[in-house]
Every structure is written in structure tokens, then in C-alpha cells.
Amino acid sequence: MGDVVNLRRARRRKAHRDAEAIAAENRARHGQTRHQKTLREAEAAQAARRLDGHRLTAPGDDDDAHKPDA
């Protein structure tokens, strides 16, 4: 047979674990200084510019414009 489980206690433990996971996520998201936030945003912008710089065509270009008339 299985072990006897107190459902009330199990629910409280689960609620506590869920709340702790949310709190950890909030600490990671909001527990940064202004300098850290600015640095993170600048790094993200630089990564986006670097990615756009490696594109073979510009985002607004039509592929049909580069094909020769056949």
C-alpha cells in the first residue's frame, strides 16, 4: 500500500513552492540596478544591430527586384 498523505499539507507545500518560483523570477527581473538594466538593454540593442548587419538583403527589399527578366 501507499503512504498516507495529508492533502492539506501537500497543497500548502505545493503553493509554497509555486510562490517561491514566482518570487525568484521577480527577483531576477526587478532586482537590478539602473546601471545593470541600461547595460542589459544596450547589449540587446547591439546584438540586434549585429544580427541585422549580417542580413543578406535589407528587410524592405523585394526579391523580385533582383531577378533578371526572363
DSSP 1-18: -PPP--HHHHHHHHHHHH
The answer to whether residue 43 sits within a structural domain is yes
The answer to whether residue 20 sits within a structural domain is yes
The answer to whether residue 63 sits within a structural domain is no
Q: Record the cell numbers describing residue 27, joined without a space.
A: 527577483
59 contacts: CB under 8 Å, gap ≥ 6: 52
* Beta carbons of 40 and 32 less than 8 angstroms apart: yes
The answer to whether residue 11 sits within a structural domain is yes
Q: What is the pLDDT of residue 59?
A: 65
Instruction: Provide the domain limits for residue 47.
Output: 7-53
Instruction: Say how far apart CA 18 and CA 11 lie, in whole Å.
Output: 11
Total domain count, the chain: 1
Tens digit of pLDDT for each residue in 17-68?
A: 999 999 999 988 888 889 998 999 999 999 999 999 888 886 676 665 556 6
